[in-house]
């Protein structure tokens, strides 16, 4: 006990590290990001603990030009390698630091469709991987923190867990996967909905929707998503709402991200009124992604297809759409899917979707597969299995960043093992290897989905009409057995 004052004296003299606990900390590194008054420039200091990196990399191809690597006194230098992709520390010693700064205006101008940063009024939204160089080697044992030094009146909105000393802890995917954070003058408002916590930041740009309207919108969407498994898929979610100058639709675009913790980005049309927000599909779609198994980006047929199916079904279960509206939306979506792409198999189309903009094809062919699987499960295993149960099985295996990403077919195989029969793999494989949009006519007839002049009419005298009604029945009425 006598040692403590002694250490304190030495610390004051600068003889020992002022934070003796640090010596016991595991290998890793600490970032400090210091923003200037106008959020135009960020100075980053990166200090290493019991670890010396060979190479640092940046998480965004378009962000290199915004970095200033001028060497500072007391810090190691950084040299960009010939490949242009990575940076080598020069003169870095154990316990040492590297320093660089980022021109945030240049960052906000960089990139085209996947921009590393943008300004929303006085606030700044950016991919943290575009600011923070990270060691190319980052194992799960590394202990990594971030501390912000911000101008008075501003705060960060991040999905990362807060540590006791006021810094944030990063997992090894926080800068490697696509993520979005914000700094600015917004409030972060807590919203409790569907048994989960949402930290909502509405960024600084004009918008017509009220604070209460935005809360109701998000609460209803969360309630709809909880209709999949009886609970919201994650305990805590950061929601960045960015008003953008637009008239329609009410929500222009959304993104769900798992980098460093669950977070959502929702682009709200500036003119959207409260009543247009409740029941719209984007928030339900993005929130459903948070409960999806992590799978590869090249397999949008699975991650986007299945979420697209559920964006309609879950709104029906929550009473945000009538049963007729659910099937009308599905039918209209399948029509858009049928008219898009079609020269390549679904498997190939999923890989090249961004190049050819065949989003409708991939999303809605995937949704058609989800529907066919759901019906077949309910038909073969009445009151025991439906697609909800498989979604939960897959989430337990690969939810969040658990188990790393999986291929869609590996997930289908796991489901078939659990079902003890070959159902998912044959159905998925046949569709993935075909360039034709699935023919749903026979399925429609059995379900009692009739289309008259483009308008869906539901018939209750069809052989599978009760099965169809069960798909959109509230969760409490659906058997959740079979686990
Ligand atoms: Zn999506």
What is the largest distance, in Å, between two alpha-carbon atoms of the chain? 88
Task: Give the confidence band of 18 by pLDDT, cuts at 50, 70, 90.
Answer: very low
> What is the whole-number distance in angstroms between the Cα of residue 312 and the centre of ligand 1?
13
> What is the whole-number distance in angstroms between the Cα of residue 56 and the centre of ligand 1?
31
Helix, strand or coil, per DSSP, at residue 169: strand
pLDDT at 114: 82
**pLDDT at residue 12 greater than cutoff 70:** no
> What is the whole-number distance in angstroms between the Cα of residue 177 and the centre of ligand 1?
16
Q: Is the dihedral of CA 210, 309, 297, 290 positive or negative?
A: positive
pLDDT at 85: 86
Q: What is the mean pLDDT of residues 176-202?
A: 97
Say how many C-beta atoms besides its own lie within 10 A of residue 88's C-beta: 14
pLDDT at 72: 87
> What is the whole-number distance in angstroms between the Cα of residue 254 and the centre of ligand 1?
8
Domains of the chain: 3-117+129-171 (2.60.40), 188-289 (1.10.390.10), 300-477 (no CATH)
The mean pLDDT value of the chain amounts to 92
> What is the whole-number distance in angstroms between the Cα of residue 460 and the centre of ligand 1?
32
Residue linked to tokens 């295993």: 381
Q: For residue range 144-156, list pLDDT tens digits in order.
A: 999 999 999 999 9
Q: Which of 25-29, 99-103, 409-413, 414-418 has the lowest mean pLDDT?
A: 25-29
**pLDDT at residue 395 greater than cutoff 90:** yes
> What is the whole-number distance in angstroms between the Cα of residue 72 and the centre of ligand 1?
43
> What is the whole-number distance in angstroms between the Cα of residue 402 and the centre of ligand 1?
19
**pLDDT at residue 129 greater than cutoff 50:** yes
> What is the whole-number distance in angstroms between the Cα of residue 289 and the centre of ligand 1?
7
> What is the whole-number distance in angstroms between the Cα of residue 307 and the centre of ligand 1?
6
> What is the whole-number distance in angstroms between the Cα of residue 286 and the centre of ligand 1?
6
Q: Residue 40 in contact with residue 34, Cβ under 8 Å?
A: no
**pLDDT at residue 1 greater than cutoff 90:** no
> What is the whole-number distance in angstroms between the Cα of residue 285 and the centre of ligand 1?
6
Task: Give the confidence band of 342 by pLDDT, cuts at 50, 70, 90.
Answer: confident
Q: Of all residues in the chain, what percent carry a pLDDT higher than 90?
A: 86
> What is the whole-number distance in angstroms between the Cα of residue 306 and the centre of ligand 1?
9
> What is the whole-number distance in angstroms between the Cα of residue 478 and the centre of ligand 1?
25
C-alpha distances (whole Å) from 206 to each of 189, 202, 203 are 18, 10, 9
CA torsion 331-327-318-213 (nearest 10°) is: 50
pLDDT at 23: 52
Q: For residue range 361-389, list pLDDT tens digits in order.
A: 999 999 999 999 999 999 999 999 999 99
**pLDDT at residue 5 greater than cutoff 80:** no
Q: What is the mean pLDDT of residues 164-191?
A: 96
Q: pTM for this structure?
A: 0.92
**pLDDT at residue 270 greater than cutoff 50:** yes
> What is the whole-number distance in angstroms between the Cα of residue 4 and the centre of ligand 1?
54
> What is the whole-number distance in angstroms between the Cα of residue 310 and the centre of ligand 1?
11
pLDDT at 9: 40
């Amino acid at each position: 006990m006598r040692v403590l004052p002694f250490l304190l004296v030495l610390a004051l003299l600068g003889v020992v590290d002022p934070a003796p606990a640090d010596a016991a900390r595991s290998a890793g590194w600490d970032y400090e990001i210091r923003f200037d008054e106008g959020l135009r420039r960020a100075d980053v200091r990166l200090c290493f603990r019991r670890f010396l990196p060979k190479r640092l990399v940046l998480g965004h191809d378009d962000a290199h030009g915004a970095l200033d690597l001028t060497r500072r006194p007391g810090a190691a230098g950084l040299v960009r390698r010939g490949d242009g992709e990575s940076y080598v520390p020069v003169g870095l010693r154990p316990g040492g630091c590297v320093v660089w700064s980022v021109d945030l205006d240049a960052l906000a101008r960089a990139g085209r469709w996947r921009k590393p940063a943008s300004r929303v009024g006085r606030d700044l939204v950016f991919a943290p991987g575009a600011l923070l160089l990270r060691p190319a080697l980052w194992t799960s044992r590394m202990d990594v923190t971030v501390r912000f030094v911000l101008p008075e009146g501003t705060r960060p909105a991040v999905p990362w867990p807060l540590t006791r000393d006021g810094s944030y802890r990063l997992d090894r995917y926080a800068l490697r996967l696509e993520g979005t954070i914000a700094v600015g003058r917004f409030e972060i408002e807590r919203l409790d909905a569907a048994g989960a916590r949402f930290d909502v930041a509405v960024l600084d740009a004009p918008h017509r929707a009220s604070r209460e309207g935005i809360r109701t919108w998000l609460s209803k969407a969360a309630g709809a998503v909880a209709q999949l498994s009886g609970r919201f898929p994650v305990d805590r979610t950061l929601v960045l709402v960015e008003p953008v100058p637009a008239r329609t639709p009410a929500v222009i675009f959304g993104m769900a991200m798992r980098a460093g913790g669950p977070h959502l980005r929702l682009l709200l049309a500036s003119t959207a009124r409260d009543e247009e927000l409740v029941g719209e599909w984007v928030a339900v779609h993005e929130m459903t992604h948070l409960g999806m198994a992590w799978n590869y980006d090249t397999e949008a047929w699975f991650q986007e297809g299945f979420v697209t199916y559920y964006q309609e079904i879950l709104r029906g279960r929550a009473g945000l759409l009538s049963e007729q509206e659910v099937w009308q939306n599905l039918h209209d979506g399948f029509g858009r899917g049928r008219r898009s792409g079609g020269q390549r198999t679904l498997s190939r189309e999923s890989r090249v979707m961004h190049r050819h903009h065949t989003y409708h094809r991939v999303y809605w062919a995937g949704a058609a597969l989800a529907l066919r699987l759901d019906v077949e499960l309910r038909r073969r295993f009445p009151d025991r299995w439906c697609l909800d149960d498989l979604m939960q099985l897959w989430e337990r295996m690969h939810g969040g960043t658990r188990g790393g990403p999986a291929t869609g077919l590996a997930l289908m195989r796991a489901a078939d093992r659990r079902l003890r029969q070959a159902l998912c793999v044959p159905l998925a494989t046949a569709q993935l290897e075909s360039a034709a949009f699935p023919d749903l006519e026979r399925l429609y007839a059995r379900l009692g989905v009739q289309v008259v002049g483009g308008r869906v009419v539901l018939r209750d005298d069809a052989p599978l009409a009760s099965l169809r009604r069960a798909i959109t029945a509230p969760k409490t009425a659906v058997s959740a057995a079979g686990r």
